[in-house]
Amino acid sequence: MMLKPIKNLITCFLFLLIFHSTFAQKNTNKRAEWFTDARFGMFIHWGVYSGAEGYWKGEKLRNNNDYAEWLLYRNRIDRDEYVTLLDRFDWDDINPEEWVILAKESGMKYVTITAKHHDGFALWDSKTGNYDLGDFTSPKRDIIKELADACKKHGLKLGLYYSHWVDWEHGFGWDHTREIYGISAEEYDQYWQEKVIPQIRELLTNYGEISMLWFDMWIHHSNSVVTKDQLLQLKSLIRDLQPNCLVNSRLGLSIEEDSDIDFKTLGDNQLGSKKEDFPWQSPATVAHSWGFHSSDNQWKSTTTLLKSLIGNASLNGNFMLNIGPRANGDVPYEISQRMLEMGNWLKVNGEAIYGAQAFDLDKDQHDWGKITCKQDGDKFKLYLHVYTWPLNKKLNLTGIVAPPENVYLLADKQKSPLSFSHSEAFTQISLTNDEPDNYISVVVAEYDSKPEIVDDLVAKTVDGGYSLLPQNQSTADESLIISRLERHGTVPRHVLIDTEKTFKWKIYIDEPGEKLFDVSYSFQNKKSNSKITVKAAGQTLSHSVLPTGKTVGEPNQNWHIDNYKSNRIGKIQFEGKGFYEIEMHIQPAKNEELNFQWLWVK
């Protein structure tokens, strides 16, 4: 059935619109406003382990995850012998200001360093115990003070990583061998009161403004030796000494449990998957290990890192990218090179990241990239991050009701207008022949106010079609079970259909005419009585399901899998521009089932 083109969006298709009265990112307290504006920061993993470079007495770290900073625990090293690694450090060359300068040139707004990692060794001249730089360097070095001074000099925020839950040095700190040998609550509290509380007091008293304390308990306190009372004691101390210091969820208290937690920390190298209204962050590496590992070679490209930064910002998240300096303070070239390249990109395109937020359209709405947005004076700007410059030089933007006032390339200082056409909820932008950036180019669409959207439309792809999937229906179907990719991606995502099922999608047709319909599925019976019916624009197509057989997923490995085959089911004439509903009904016969993958319209 054809839905006539919208004449009055507010009255005729109110059910399609999502209205938002405010723009600012919700659930962000005053303390964290700088954090959500910054979006990009540097993580520094550097400590005694940096001198080993992933090896101890010729033996590589005893774990395939190759996290070099876990060397003391993994290779069962005596704590006193462990610190002999400091003999490898070149203290004449180590200059933390160089790390801060790298962060600034890379476009980062804050720096977070491992003040104390799980090895229990402090990078400052701690008066708590004798396992710190002040007791092992002559003249004494205090890396935290040097870094704090450099951050203040160069205008960056300072964050400190502190391992509070795990401590392999203190006699009563948590060491995972306690799972075997045990530890009493009283013993653990002795560690807490003797080391954690005094050291946090030192860090928040002696080094000026600390903008963030980054804790690293990756499980909830209910599953650990730490008690909620101990965590609240620690948080209370932070609030008393530096009320504006941010605290992350890896303290051991979730944001849902304690609204006073400032931001959520995702898993290591875990990127955002959905828009969140509270502040959050991904800690990430350029390669794999956090501390320097001489065998690490899993380098991510600059483009990959930029996409991670953009993807997080498009979902209201931050990205904190790690360096693991060597024992002489040098940052591996592969890391510094990529960070500086990101910095050069941000010099041109930083407006689309700093202070930018998620827009209302679905994160996977468009196949060409991601969208960030911000209110900039009297203009509302959409930043269209184009990952792949379309070959036809046409950028399809689906779901925005209002036409933009102006469109231009962010890299163009003259803001030369790009031509565009707009029809109801579809904007097509004519791009330049040459892509302005070698990594990712940004197109700016300016509006006089935040534009309303038409929700749940399937966007027109770069090549002019519509990919209708089980997960992008106009109304979410919670009963659907969508499989994951299997067999290294050779078996695609699909939905098992063994009873009658109807799917519905909404699309906007900007170019009337005849459209072809193809459906992809797997059907393993030798004969079929199952049917697929598609309805659109008052017309109906019928398709008799065909056996698809098997295929070989990987040659010479007995890798035989169900074949998913595209089947042409017919064509439908769309007489005019407008919104259309596409309805597909799958009717499996008795004792027959098929795996539906997608419906393609072009």
Q: Which CATH number belongs to the domain containing residue 495 in this structure?
A: 2.60.120.260
Residues 6 or more apart whose Cβ sits within 8 Å of residue 478: none
User: What count of other Cβ atoms lies within 10 Å of the Cβ of residue 216?
Assistant: 20
Does residue 472 sit in the same domain as residue 376?
no
Task: Answer whether residue 435 is part of any domain.
Answer: yes
pLDDT of residue 9: 34
> 79 with 110, same domain?
yes
**For residue 30, is it within any domain?**
no
* Residue 84 located in a structural domain: yes
Structural domain span for residue 379: 359-455
Task: Report if residue 549 sits inside a domain.
Answer: yes
pLDDT of residue 20: 34
**Judgement on whether residues 305 and 449 belong to the same structural domain of the protein:** no
**Domain for residue 25, yes or no?**
no
Residue 18 counted as domain residue: no
- Return the CATH number at 370: 2.60.40.1180
Is 411 in the same domain as 374?
yes
Same domain, 370 and 332: no
- What do you get for the CA distance between the two ends of the chain, in Å? 18
For residue 348 the two structure tokens come to: 């041109």
Q: Which of 400, 423, 455 corresponds to the end of one domain?
A: 455
Q: How confident is the model at residue 478 (pLDDT cuts 50, 70, 90)?
A: confident
**Residue 22 above 90 pLDDT?**
no
Percent of the chain whose predicted confidence (pLDDT) is above 70: 96
Q: How many domains does the chain have?
A: 3
Q: Which two tokens stand for residue 59?
A: 């033996």
The model's pTM is 0.93
pLDDT score recorded for residue 24: 54
Answer with the one of 410, 428, 455 that is the final residue of a domain: 455
Q: Residues 523-530: what's their mean pLDDT?
A: 96
Q: Confirm if 479 and 454 have CB atoms less than 8 A apart.
A: no
Are 212 and 128 found together in one domain? Answer: yes
Question: Looking at 455, 476, 504, which one is the last position of a domain?
Answer: 455
Structure tokens at 508: 């906007």
Q: Is 31 a member of any domain?
A: no
347 in the same domain as 234: yes
Confidence band of 13 (pLDDT split at 50, 70, 90): very low
Q: Say whether both 283 and 313 belong to one domain.
A: yes
Q: Is residue 460 part of a domain?
A: no
Domain identity same for 186 and 89:
yes
Instruction: Specify whether the CB–CB gap between 262 and 35 falls below 8 A.
Output: yes
- Decide the pairing of beta strands 531-536 and 539-544: antiparallel
Which band of pLDDT confidence, cut at 50, 70 and 90, is reported for residue 26? confident
What distance in Å separates the CA atoms of residue 187 and residue 172, rounded to the nearest whole number?
A: 6
Tell me what pLDDT residue 10 has: 32
For residue 472, give every residue at least 6 positions away whose Cβ sits within 8 Å of its Cβ, in sequence order, or none.
Answer: 362, 364, 456, 458, 505
Instruction: Write the CATH number for 140.
Output: 3.20.20.80
Res 212: pLDDT: 98
Please indicate, yes or no, whether residues 230 and 344 belong to a single structural domain of this protein: yes
Mean pLDDT over the full length of the chain = 94
Do residues 364 and 344 both lie within one domain?
A: no
DSSP string of 119-157, one letter each residue: T--BSS--SSSS-BGGGT-SS---HHHHHHHHHHHHT-E
Say whether the peptide bond before residue 436 is cis (omega within 30 degrees of 0). Answer: no
> How high is the pLDDT of residue 476?
86
**Is 70 exceeded by the pLDDT of residue 526?**
yes
Judge residue 486's burial from the number of C-beta atoms within 10 Å of its C-beta, 0-12 exposed, 13-18 middle, 19 or more buried.
middle
Model confidence over 100-127: pLDDT tens digits? 999 999 999 999 999 999 999 999 999 9
252 and 299, same domain (yes or no): yes
